[in-house]
C-alpha cells in the first residue's frame, strides 16, 4: 500500500476506538521519541506541546501527536507550542457515485462504492482516515453533490452499511456527511418538495432521526440545489434561505449542520447577450439573504466566481457576507488544472485565497477530493501535495506555500538528498505558474475541450449557454467587467474595485478577466498584449521541457512506482503543453494577423 506522506509510519495499526487511543499508539511506535498524553476535553481540537508532553482535547491530542511526530521526523524536537484550528469544520467532499464512478475523478474508481452499494477495503479506508487526520481534516462527505436517484439508498436500506463505514473513520476524529437530493420527498411519494410544506418538513425530520439513530456523530448534509438542473427551492418560488433553513431545522436537534453550496448559475444566456454575466450570479442570489440563514447552515462558496478555473479573482461573496456562516470551497481534483496528469501545485492558490479573506469571516473550509482507488490514492504521486497542503492550511492558513511544500517533500521522500529535495520543492513551487502560462494566462477562462476539460479548445464554450465567454475577435479579447461593462467589479469592496477596475493597476494575471484589451495595447513591461500571449505560451512549453529534465534527475532517487508514474505523466504533460501552445497561438494569430516578433513557429 502506498503510504504517501506517512512513509515513516507503520502500516499495521490495531483496531482502536478513539482518537486518544490512536494518538497514544502512534506515539508509541517512535522509539527515538518519548511522549506522554494528557487529555483536557475542554480543548476540543486544540492541543499544546511542551517538550514531551502533549495536552489536548479528545481530538486535539491526535492532531498534537501527528504534529510532534512530523516535527521529530524533520529534526525539530523539544517543541513548545499551542495550536488550534482556524476553522472548526475542515471538510473533504467526494464526488463518488454508487456505481463506483467518480465525477471529475482522475485517480481511479471510488474507494467507497461499486455495483450500486458500499464496496471497499477496510484497511484502505482506515489508512485513508489516518492520512486525513494527520493533516487535520475532520469531516468527509462520501457521495456526489450531483445526487443520482440511487444515492437515496444511503439514507435508507444502505444506512447500516454507511454506519459501519462511519465506524472506520471515527477513531481518527473524522465525521461522515452525505449529499442529499432536495427532491427526496417526491421520490418517496409526496406530491411536493416545497420547504414550507409541513409534510415535507416532517419527512426530513424523520430522515434526520433515522440517520442520527444509526450514526450518532453524523455531521450533516451537503446540498446542491437549483444548479445544473438540480432541483431546489426555486421550483416552488421559495428562497434558498427557506430551503436551507428547513433542512437546518430538521438536523438541529441532533447538532447537525447543513452545508448549502452557493453554486447557483442557472443564469443561462444567449451568447449575443452582453449584459448578463455569469460570475455575478452567486452574489446577486445570496447578498439579499445575508442574515436570513439559521446558525447551523453554512453557505459554501467556491474560491472564485466561475468554476475552479486556472486563475480567477476571489469570489466577492467571501468578502461581503457578514451575517452568514461561510465555508470556502476549493477543488483538489484537477478538473481544469491538468487531470492529475500535468503537475499543478495548489499551496499558492490556498495561501492567496486565505490572505484575502478577513479573519473571522469563515466558519469552515471544504475541498473536492482528488482521491480514488489508484494504488497511490491520487493518480499522480505529486498530487498528494495538494491534499496534504489543503489539510495543513485549513488548520493554519498563514503557512507559507514553500513551508508546506518542503514539509510534504521531506515526509514523502525522506531518502532524497538535500540537492534532490530542493529540486523537487522548486519544481512543485513553479508548476502552477508554468501550467498557467501554457494554458490560460492573463485571466483567460474556459478555453478547454467542452465536457472533458483537458486540452485546448479556444472556442469550445464560446457559443454555449453557460456564460463562459472570452469574446475574442480580430481586434481584442476579454470581457469588460468594469462599471461601464457588465458591472461585475462593483460587487467588490471599494478598495478592491479600484485595483481591478483600472487596467493600469489590474494584476496581469487577471487582466482579461476584467478588461477587454486590444491586441496591440502596450502592457506595463512594454510588450503588446498579442506578444505577451505568444511569449507566455512559448515560455510555458519550454518550462515544461525544463521540468522534465529536472524530473529525470530526481526520478532515480524516487520509489520505483512513483518514478515510473511521474515520468510517464510528464511525457503526457509535454504533449499537452505543446498542444496548448500551438492551438492557442494559432487561434490568436489567425484573429489578430500579428506575427510573433521573435519569429517562432506559429501554425497557419
Q: Hey, how many other C-beta atoms are within 10 angstroms of the C-beta on 409?
A: 22
335 in active site: yes
| Long-range pairs, 95-100, Cβ under 8 A, ≥24 | 95/144, 95/145, 95/146, 95/333, 95/368, 95/369, 96/142, 96/143, 96/144, 97/143, 97/144, 97/148, 97/151, 98/143, 98/148, 98/150, 98/151, 98/153, 98/154, 99/150
Asked whether 193 and 236 are in contact (CB, 8 A), the reply is: yes
Angstrom distance (rounded) from CA 516 to CA 478: 4
Asked whether 224 and 146 are in contact (CB, 8 A), the reply is: yes
Please tell me whether residue 398 adopts helix, strand or coil conformation. coil
Residue 214: what are its φ and ψ, rounded to 5°? -85, -35
Asked whether 296 and 246 are in contact (CB, 8 A), the reply is: no
User: DSSP readout, 176-193?
Assistant: EEEE--TTHHHHTT-S--
Residue position matching grid coordinates 482521491: 371
The three three-digit cell numbers of residue 521, written as one number = 495595447
User: DSSP readout, 308-335?
Assistant: S-SS-PPPTHHHH--SSEEEEEEE-S-T
The three three-digit cell numbers of residue 211, written as one number = 440517520
571 in active site: no
Residue position matching grid coordinates 460570475: 279
Asked whether 308 and 336 are in contact (CB, 8 A), the reply is: yes
Catalytic residue among 335, 406, 480, 562: 335
Please name the residues in contact with 540: beta carbons below 8 A apart, sequence gap of 6 or more: 434, 435, 436, 437, 438, 439, 441, 577, 580, 581
Partnered with residue 328 across adjacent β-strands are 301, 365
Q: Hey, how many other C-beta atoms are within 10 angstroms of the C-beta on 332?
A: 22
Please tell me whether residue 41 adopts helix, strand or coil conformation. helix
User: DSSP readout, 434-501?
Assistant: HHHHHH-GGG----BPTTT--SB-TTTTTTSTT-------SSEES---STTTT-GGGGS-HHHHHHHH
Task: Please report, for the chain, how many H helices and E strands are present, in that order.
Answer: 17, 16
Taking alpha carbons only, the member of 306, 373, 332 closest to residue 102 is: 373
Q: How far is CA 277 from the centre of its chain?
A: 24
Taking alpha carbons only, the member of 61, 186, 220 closest to residue 195 is: 186
Catalytic residue among 228, 273, 352, 375: 228
Angstrom distance (rounded) from CA 499 to CA 38: 50
70 CB-side CA count, 13 A: 24
Lateral strand order in the sheet of 53-56: 36-39, 53-56, 47-50, 80-83
Give catalytic residues, as residue numbers: 228, 307, 335
Amino acid at each position: 500500500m502506498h503510504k504517501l506522506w506517512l512513509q515513516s509510519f507503520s502500516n499495521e495499526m490495531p483496531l482502536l476506538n478513539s482518537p486518544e487511543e490512536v494518538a497514544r499508539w502512534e506515539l508509541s511506535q517512535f522509539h527515538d521519541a518519548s511522549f506522554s498524553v494528557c487529555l483536557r476535553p475542554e480543548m476540543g481540537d486544540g492541543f499544546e506541546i511542551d517538550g514531551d508532553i502533549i495536552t489536548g482535547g479528545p481530538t486535539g491530542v491526535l492532531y498534537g501527536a501527528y504534529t510532534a511526530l512530523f516535527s521529530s521526523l524533520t529534526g525539530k524536537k523539544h517543541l513548545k507550542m499551542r495550536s488550534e484550528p482556524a476553522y472548526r469544520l475542515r471538510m473533504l467532499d467526494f464526488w463518488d457515485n454508487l456505481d463506483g464512478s467518480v465525477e471529475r475523478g482522475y485517480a481511479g474508481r471510488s474507494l467507497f462504492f461499486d455495483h450500486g452499494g458500499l464496496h471497499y477495503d477496510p484497511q484502505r479506508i482506515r489508512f485513508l482516515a489516518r492520512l486525513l487526520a494527520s493533516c487535520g481534516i475532520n469531516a468527509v462527505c462520501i457521495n456526489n453533490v450531483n445526487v443520482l436517484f440511487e444515492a437515496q439508498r444511503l439514507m435508507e436500506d444502505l444506512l447500516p452499511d454507511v454506519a459501519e463505514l462511519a465506524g472506520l473513520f471515527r477513531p481518527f476524529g473524522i465525521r461522515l456527511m452525505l449529499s442529499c437530493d432536495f427532491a427526496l420527498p417526491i421520490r418517496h411519494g409526496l406530491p411536493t418538495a416545497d420547504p414550507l410544506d409541513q409534510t415535507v418538513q416532517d419527512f426530513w425530520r424523520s430522515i434526520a432521526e433515522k440517520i442520527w439513530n444509526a450514526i450518532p456523530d453524523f455531521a450533516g448534509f451537503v446540498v446542491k440545489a437549483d444548479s445544473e438542473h438540480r432541483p431546489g427551492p426555486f421550483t416552488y418560488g421559495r428562497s434558498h434561505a427557506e430551503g436551507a433553513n428547513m433542512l437546518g431545522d430538521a438536523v438541529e436537534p441532533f447538532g447537525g449542520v447543513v452545508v448549502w453550496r452557493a453554486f447557483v448559475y442557472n443564469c443561462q444566456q444567449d451568447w449575443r447577450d452582453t449584459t448578463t454575466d455569469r460570475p455575478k450570479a452567486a452574489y446577486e442570489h445570496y447578498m439579499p439573504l445575508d442574515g436570513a440563514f439559521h446558525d447551523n447552515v453554512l453557505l459554501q462558496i467556491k474560491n472564485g466566481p466561475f468554476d475552479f478555473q486556472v486563475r480567477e479573482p476571489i469570489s466577492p461573496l467571501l468578502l461581503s457576507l457578514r451575517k452568514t456562516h461561510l465555508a470556502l470551497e476549493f477543488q483538489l481534483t484537477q478538473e481544469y488544472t491538468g487531470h492529475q496528469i500535468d503537475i499543478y501545485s495548489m499551496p499558492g492558490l490556498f495561501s492567496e485565497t486565505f490572505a484575502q479573506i478577513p479573519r473571522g469571516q469563515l466558519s469552515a473550509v471544504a475541498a473536492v477530493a482528488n482521491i480514488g482507488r489508484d494504488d497511490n490514492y491520487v493518480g499522480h504521486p505529486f498530487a498528494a501535495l495538494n491534499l496534504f497542503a489543503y489539510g495543513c492550511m485549513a488548520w493554519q492558513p498563514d503557512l507559507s506555500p514553500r513551508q508546506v511544500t518542503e514539509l510534504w517533500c521531506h515526509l514523502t521522500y525522506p531518502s532524497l538528498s538535500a540537492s534532490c529535495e530542493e529540486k523537487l520543492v522548486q519544481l512543485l513551487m513553479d508548476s502552477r505558474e508554468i501550467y498557467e502560462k501554457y494554458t490560460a494566462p492573463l485571466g483567460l477562462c474556459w478555453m478547454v475541450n467542452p465536457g472533458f476539460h483537458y486540452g485546448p479548445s479556444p472556442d469550445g464554450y464560446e457559443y454555449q449557454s453557460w456564460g463562459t465567454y472570452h469574446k475574442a475577435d480580430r481586434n481584442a479579447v476579454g470581457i469588460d467587467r468594469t462599471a461601464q461593462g457588465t458591472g461585475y467589479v462593483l460587487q467588490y469592496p471599494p478598495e478592491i474595485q479600484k485595483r481591478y477596475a483600472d487596467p493600469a493597476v489590474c494584476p496581469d494575471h487577471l487582466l482579461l478577466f476584467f478588461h477587454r484589451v486590444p491586441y496591440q495595447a502596450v502592457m506595463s513591461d512594454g510588450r503588446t498584449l498579442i506578444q505577451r500571449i505568444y511569449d507566455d505560451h512559448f515560455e510555458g512549453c519550454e518550462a515544461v521541457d525544463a521540468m522534465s529534465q529536472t524530473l529525470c534527475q530526481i526520478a532515480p532517487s524516487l520509489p520505483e512506482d512513483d518514478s515510473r508514474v511521474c515520468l510517464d505523466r510528464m511525457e503526457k504533460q509535454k504533449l499537452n503543453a505543446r498542444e496548448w501552445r500551438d492551438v492557442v497561438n494559432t487561434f490568436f494569430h489567425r484573429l489578430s494577423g500579428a506575427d510573433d516578433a521573435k519569429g517562432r513557429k506559429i501554425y497557419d
